[in-house]
Amino acid sequence: MKNKKNIAILASGNGSNFEAIVNKIKDGTLAVGKCILITDKKNALARKRAQKLQIKDIFIDPSQYKNRQTYDQKIIEVLEKEKIDAVVLAGYKRILSPFFVKRFENKILNIHPSLLPRFPGKNAIARAFNYGCKVAGITVHFVDEGVDQGPVIAQEVVPIKKNMSLKELEAEIHEKEHWLYPHILKFFLEDRIKIEGKHVKIA
């Protein structure tokens, strides 16, 4: 494939989706020129995963910046220096500034553990479970200036079975995430995803 894209994965915590993506890069499923990890938490487990996987890991401390935009400007400086083409959010807990979103318009992907537009924001799995929903799920979407409001690329349903615990539901959702996110990222890297307003088509 010509012109392989360089990607930056932004993570704040465990990094299991980060590792799932990197494994698909290493086995040749995803054609990526360069992959780096950027974290906003010094002790994020994702950083240990990056070390194990031999992926460049960059920690940028939010406490050193006066507001969200100046922090995001620093990240953009790093992305430009590393010649990054696309940004992949994988458990990144900070809301991106409009400045950042505009700079990488239609080039930022996120995965959310609910069937958006239901249960945006934090604790989505627990909220669906406690509400008594019969199904939960996951959504891969483009990031816009809203919180979990960008155009939906793909969704997968996860049934909430009788007598299922919240922990079991979380495990099933994470397993689906680790399959769906690299799968959709492959289409994106191959320029097979087209946006028409709020509608997304995969060629």
Calculate mean pLDDT across residues 21-48: 97
- Please give the DSSP secondary-structure letter assigned to residue 67: S
Q: In the predicted model, what is the mean pLDDT of residues 41-55?
A: 97
Asked whether the beta carbons of 71 and 62 are under 8 A apart, the reply is yes
Residue type, 186: K
Domain 1-104 sits in CATH at 3.40.50.170
Total-model pTM: 0.94
Domain range list for the chain: 1-104, 110-203
- Give me the phi and psi of 83, to 5 degrees please: 60, 50
- Taking residues 53-59, what's their average pLDDT? 97
pLDDT of residue 170 exceeding 90, the answer is yes
User: What pLDDT shows up at residue 1?
Assistant: 47
Query: How far apart are the C-alpha atoms of 7 and 107, rounded to whole Å?
Result: 10
- pLDDT tens digit sequence for 115-166: 999 999 999 999 999 999 999 999 999 999 988 899 999 999 999 999 999 9
CATH number (3.40.50.2000, 3.40.30.10, 3.40.50.170, 3.40.630.30) of 110-203 reads 3.40.50.170
Catalytic residues: 112
